Amino acid sequence: MSVFEWPVRVYYEDTDAGGVVYYANYLKFLERARTEWLRAAGFGQDALMREAGILFAVRHVEIDYRSPARFDDALRVEARIEQLSKVSMTFAQRIVRGADEVLCTATVKVVCLDRERFRPTAIPQSIREKIQHAQH
């Protein structure tokens, strides 16, 4: 399955008192990459809510921090779908510095929710088909 890549620059506001990226900010970087993956696949999140009546919300995260990122680092955030079901997508994600220095890995499960009821609902078939096509 294809890997989507999104560049991220570490800003001063992303760092903690020790001068490294605050651990929770890695989740923001991962979120941006998934959002941009959806956009590249043809789905803006605002349009999904407005037109399809759905939204995607994080259900579960596992993250492994391996090495710290620092102020002004240029990073690459990767996202690929590991599993697609009727109501959810599980992403395998990595944050990488340079050519191949893996700073963290994560598995993130997002569930499709009905915008009105905020309850799990099936990913519309037309959207699931486009997502499947975007994987290859």
pLDDT per position as a tens digit, 77-105: 999 999 999 999 999 999 999 999 999 99
pLDDT score recorded for residue 41: 86
Domains parsed from the chain with CATH numbers: 4-134 (3.10.129.10)
The mean pLDDT value of the chain amounts to: 93
Tens digits of residue pLDDT in 50-64? 888 999 999 999 999
Quick check: helix, strand or coil at residue 111?
Answer: strand
- In sequence order, the β-bridge partners of residue 107 are 62, 92
pLDDT score recorded for residue 30: 98
Query: Which position among 14, 16, 73, 100 bears the catalytic label?
Result: 16
16 catalytic residue (yes or no): yes
pLDDT score recorded for residue 27: 97
Strands of 85-122 (E only): list them.
88-97, 101-114
Cα gap 5→36, rounded to integer Å: 9
Quick check: helix, strand or coil at residue 85?
Answer: coil
Global confidence as pTM: 0.92
Cα gap 3→134, rounded to integer Å: 10
Cα gap 50→134, rounded to integer Å: 22
Eight-class DSSP state of 61: E
pLDDT tier at 43 (50, 70, 90 boundaries)? Answer: confident
What are the structure tokens assigned to 66, written together? 């391996």
Tens digits of residue pLDDT in 9-24? 999 999 999 999 999 9
Whether residue 47 has pLDDT greater than 90: no
Cα gap 108→92, rounded to integer Å: 7
Whether residue 135 has pLDDT greater than 70: no
